[in-house]
Amino acid sequence: MERSQQRINEQIRVSPVRVIGPDGAQLGILETADALQQATEAGLDLVEVAPNEKPPVCRIMDYGKFKYQQKKRQHKGHVHQTKNKEIRLRPKTDKHDLDFKIRKARDFLKQKDKVVVSVVFRGRENAHTEEGFKVVKTFIEELDDLSKPEQGPSMQGRRIVAILAPR
């Protein structure tokens, strides 16, 4: 039912209506004025839930709470789109800097994003690719509790790339 069609309290002009109480029990077919009076006595609203029925069905409920739950239910259907977040390192990245990058990668993995770890080599560093593999290996081991390697470390030109997926 569209929100624009949902009538509450005085907006309901049809009489008589089938009334459902706040506890879900059927109260029967009542005049609209009587149903509205029962709703106000209970401190709640009279909401038309099935306007196309004969007679229309109205429910005594807290309309604000009902709208909130509908909105919440609508947002629950939202699916997180996984993104690839890249973390770039160098073969001589210091321990503290590496810890900081690991912390950032943890945040990404907790948000269900994939992490691409890449170690970039420049100049003479290309002769010592084993240093880069060590850095990637420690990175993967530190994040073992939150991630599983989707693609192990491999050389791609002047960089070593590994992809970690959230568990």
- 0.85 surpassed by pTM: no
- pLDDT value at residue 18: 93
- Which residue type does 144 have? D
**For all residues of the chain together, what is the average pLDDT?**
90
- Which residue type does 16 have? P
Q: Considering its fold, how many domains does the chain have in total?
A: 2
Query: What is the domain extent for residue 27?
Result: 9-76
pLDDT tens per residue across span 27-68? 999 999 999 999 999 999 999 988 888 889 999 999 999 889
- Using alpha carbons only, what angle is made at residue 88 by residues 87 and 91, rounded to the nearest 5 degrees? 130
Is pLDDT above 60 for 1?
A: no
Q: Where does a domain end: 55, 76, 97?
A: 76
Same domain, yes or no, for 95 and 145?
yes
pLDDT tens per residue across span 104-118? 999 999 999 999 999
Same domain, yes or no, for 158 and 112?
yes
Same domain, yes or no, for 159 and 95?
yes
**Residue 134 covered by a domain:** yes
Tallying the residues shown for the chain, one arrives at 167
Among residues 128, 127, 162, which one has the least CA distance to residue 148?
162
**Residue 3 covered by a domain:** no
Q: Where does a domain end: 26, 49, 76?
A: 76
pLDDT tens per residue across span 119-153? 999 999 999 999 999 999 999 999 999 999 999 99
pLDDT tens per residue across span 84-97? 999 999 999 899 99
